[in-house]
Structure 1
Amino acid sequence: MFLSSPSPLRTKKTQAIGIPVIDLSLDTAMLSHQIITACQDYGFFKLVNHRVPIQVISKMEEAVHGFFSKPMSEKVQVKANPPSPFGYGCRNIGFNGDVGELEYILLQANSLSTSSDVFNVVANQPTNFSRLIQDVDSDSCFRANHYPGVKPESNQPKPAHRIGFGEHSDPQIFTILRSNDVPGLQISTVDGLWIPVTTDPTDFCVFVGDVLEVLYHA
């Protein structure tokens, strides 16, 4: 369940309207125009027919679940140590003190330094996980988020009203998100309208990040 922050930066208005869907099986020239329009109007689009095999997606999800199900004593062996952000972490996130827990792993797609340590903790065959994300020519990162189950407390809201990520923007150039079948994701338009995003584990969601927005307006 995802809710806006207690003191939202935008007015909470929700409306189920169409969102951009980019079909990668279409003509390249048509795709370029559609992507530009989606980024300018929404800063977001869904990606379908991306040709990433469902077997690869399933193996990645299985490996991630395997890591997060490990005892905390094992996960902290690869915790992020500042100033490096890479590794395991656990915290809350959002502009306004959101209520909810988040644990994550952040890995470099082109480096064995941090990633190899995590692979050794993730599964019995860490090299299989390594091959799923590694690209020596990439400067991208891989991040997996996990929202632990909420235990009811007398002085806290009901679990159904707890949140994972609150209202936020992504700091990087762009984000490619693959979520499971748990609903709750919303995007906000420039006029403050929140649009629910239908979940589909076979699709990818692409978000324009703060860096790309700055570069575009520079």
Structure 2
Amino acid sequence: MPGTATIRTPATVEEVVGRLREIAAGLPPADGVAVFNRLYLAVTEAVRDRLGGGYFADPTAMAELDVVFAGRYLLAVAADAAGQEPPACWRPLFALRAHPGVHPLQFALAGMNAHIQHDLPLAVVDLCHHRGCEPDEVEEDYHRINGVLAELESAAREQLLPGPDLLEHAEPLTHLLGTWSVEAAREGAWSAVRALWELRGLPGAARAFAATLDGSVGLLGRALLLPL
């Protein structure tokens, strides 16, 4: 029988970094979840390094968002480890993590797709409920993270694109890269934040919207992971 998913919830960004490093140490480098985890670790470290330098208008809120946001990915990892299904948005990545026909760049994109387009809007809404604030109050800092992500996404693409020995993969990967971008994903996520916030007084409708979001993001994730 599958076990019950358990998670040691991080309380600080530094603890999130520690958990991501633990996950990395326990996975083969070529594992699809490991590929995404390395990218997510780099993003989290970059955000952490900007919390104390005046980059964010409200670094305390951004640190809390980082922790809440990471918790959703860590819960998906824990569910998979316990033999349970993670949320629909994460299932393609966990199901295809060892597929030999899927390129590492596809794993990275699928992980970002799940975490940004599904987990992020739910995390922002959770943050606003906890802090008693409106989404508009964190929007400026939310968009500041786009610069950090664009930098790291560009570096990841360069690092993960196939070399001359795999030129047959270059064209389909280039096409794939043209269909998904972190900027568009985060803009879509912010639209989902606004929708969820407007539905906060209608819990049934909010749950239905979140479930639909989960499923649609999962479908896109499966498309991103089509073997080359």
Q: TM-score, normalised by structure 2?
A: 0.30
Give the helix-richer structure, 1 or 2. 2
Give the strand-richer structure, 1 or 2. 1
Larger radius of gyration: 1
